[in-house]
Amino acid sequence: MAVDIGIDLGTASVLVYVKGKGVVLKEPSVVAYDRETNEVKAIGEEARLMLGRTPGNIIAVRPLRHGVISDYTITEKMIKYFILKALGRRTFKKPRICICVPSGVTEVEKKAVEEATFAAGAREVHLIEEPVAAAIGAGIDISKACGNMIVDVGGGTSDIAVISLGGTVVNTSIKIAGDDFDEAIVRYMRKKHNLLIGDRTAEEIKIKIGTTYPLAEIEKLEVKGRNLVTGLPKTVLVTSSETEEALKEISGQIVEAVISVLEQTPPELSADVLDRGILRTGGGSMLRGLEELIEEKTGIHTITAEDPLKVVAVGTGQYAEYIGGSREL
């Protein structure tokens, strides 16, 4: 029996959906390899723990940048590893794979994803745009003549689209997302506290106390890093209102992109969006305050999908099943 697989190939993490089982794997898209022998040392969570902590000959890298393949051979090995891990070794027949790409990718970038997936052992490869996959995964009937607005904030790209009749009517993809939130926090800590922190620490701050909208109660977190003046380790107390200040510019750019898509939307679909609201998906939408910020600036009711991280993977997998003829969209 042929297996249908949906893969959400993200900049920050890879999720694999297997027909009949749902999302079976969620791992960071990080690969650690030996610079001299090119031998892969670790992939996924194990490799993520090595980020910023490796000796000279071992490098831990993210082979995707802004939703696009930046290191082809490493990406191919990573996809292969995740397919094997998700299916176990019991496959005799090559799987049919549906994989998602950001809405603004070029033909060359699409081709690279296709070829890497074929090389990793796929029998058929189908590409689907992220916002469309997100809409399917969130349970929206995209085949109807009705406008739905999706804001998918991932790790490397944010895709914003208005979908109707199974396709995107207006869309934009900006290279500003979760990773940029982390970088903004690193910059802020350096400027404000003279403290140098790594990307993992920045991500921890973002998850624990990060916000883009004033919270009712200010939260605090102790952050450890290196003092830039003395060069010694130091602990600093950071508040949630400081993260709001640090993330102001980045979140503002996402809101601007949402507004620019709304400006280009045909009037009939605009009315639908106003009725149905804006749906947020992707790991980046788990950042607090973004929902309130979008709602305040656009005046449109904004909701976050139930499990925003898995929505795209689920939609991609369901699309693979639909192509295979085993389900209706």
Local confidence pLDDT in tens for the 329 residues of the chain: 467 899 999 998 999 999 888 899 999 999 999 988 889 999 999 998 888 788 888 888 889 988 889 999 999 999 999 998 888 766 667 889 999 998 888 999 999 999 999 998 888 999 999 999 999 999 999 889 999 999 999 988 999 999 999 889 999 999 999 999 999 999 999 999 999 999 889 999 999 999 999 988 999 999 999 999 999 999 999 999 999 999 999 999 999 999 999 999 999 999 999 999 999 999 998 999 999 999 999 999 999 998 999 999 999 999 988 887 766 65
Q: Is the Cα dihedral 130, 133, 139, 145 positive or negative?
A: positive
Distance (Å) of CA 206 to CA 177, 216, 284, 290, 301: 12, 17, 10, 12, 24
Question: Three-state DSSP class for 257?
Answer: helix
**Helices 178-193 & 199-209, crossing angle to 10 degrees?**
100
Residue 134: per-residue pLDDT: 94
Residue 196: per-residue pLDDT: 96
Do 22 and 110 fall within a single domain?
Answer: yes
Do 22 and 113 fall within a single domain?
Answer: yes
Do 73 and 217 fall within a single domain?
Answer: no
Instruction: Judge whether 328 lies within some domain.
Output: no
Do 74 and 187 fall within a single domain?
Answer: no
Do 294 and 164 fall within a single domain?
Answer: yes
Task: Say how far apart CA 4 and CA 317 lie, in whole Å.
Answer: 7
Burial string for 204-224 (b: 16+ CB within 10 Å, else e) reads bbbeebbbbbeeeeeeebebe
Do 73 and 104 fall within a single domain?
Answer: yes
Do 97 and 15 fall within a single domain?
Answer: yes
Instruction: Judge whether 62 lies within some domain.
Output: no
Q: Are 44 and 32 in contact (CB under 8 A)?
A: no
Tokens (6 digits) for 283: 């790991």
Do 171 and 277 fall within a single domain?
Answer: yes
CATH number assigned to the domain comprising residue 158: 3.30.420.40
Instruction: Judge whether 45 lies within some domain.
Output: no
Residue 68: per-residue pLDDT: 86
Instruction: Judge whether 108 lies within some domain.
Output: yes
Q: Are 156 and 173 in contact (CB under 8 A)?
A: no
Do 115 and 18 fall within a single domain?
Answer: yes
Residue 266: per-residue pLDDT: 95
Instruction: Judge whether 101 lies within some domain.
Output: yes
Task: Say how far apart CA 276 and CA 29 lie, in whole Å.
Answer: 34
Task: Say how far apart CA 112 and CA 236 lie, in whole Å.
Answer: 44
Per the structure, the count of domains in the chain is 3
Locate all alpha helices (DSSP H) within the chain, ordered by sequence.
Answer: 45-48, 72-87, 107-119, 130-137, 178-193, 199-209, 240-264, 267-276, 290-298, 311-323
Query: Cα-flanking dihedrals φ and ψ of residue 287, to 5°?
Result: -70, 130
Integer-rounded Cα radius of gyration of the chain: 20
Tokens (6 digits) for 141: 């009937």
Task: Say how far apart CA 62 and CA 13 lie, in whole Å.
Answer: 9
Burial class (CB in 10 A: 0-12, 13-18, 19+), 166: middle
Do 151 and 239 fall within a single domain?
Answer: no
Instruction: Judge whether 55 lies within some domain.
Output: no
Residue 148: per-residue pLDDT: 94
Task: Say how far apart CA 44 and CA 33 lie, in whole Å.
Answer: 12
Q: Angle CA(228)–CA(229)–CA(230) in degrees, nearest 5?
A: 100
Do 240 and 258 fall within a single domain?
Answer: no
Do 172 and 158 fall within a single domain?
Answer: yes
Number of residues written out for the chain:
329
Instruction: Judge whether 239 lies within some domain.
Output: yes
According to DSSP, the residues that pair with 302 across neighbouring strands are: 278
Domain range for 116: 4-27+68-133+311-323
CATH number assigned to the domain comprising residue 222: 3.90.640.10
Instruction: Judge whether 39 lies within some domain.
Output: no
Tokens (6 digits) for 162: 């208005």
Residue 143: per-residue pLDDT: 87
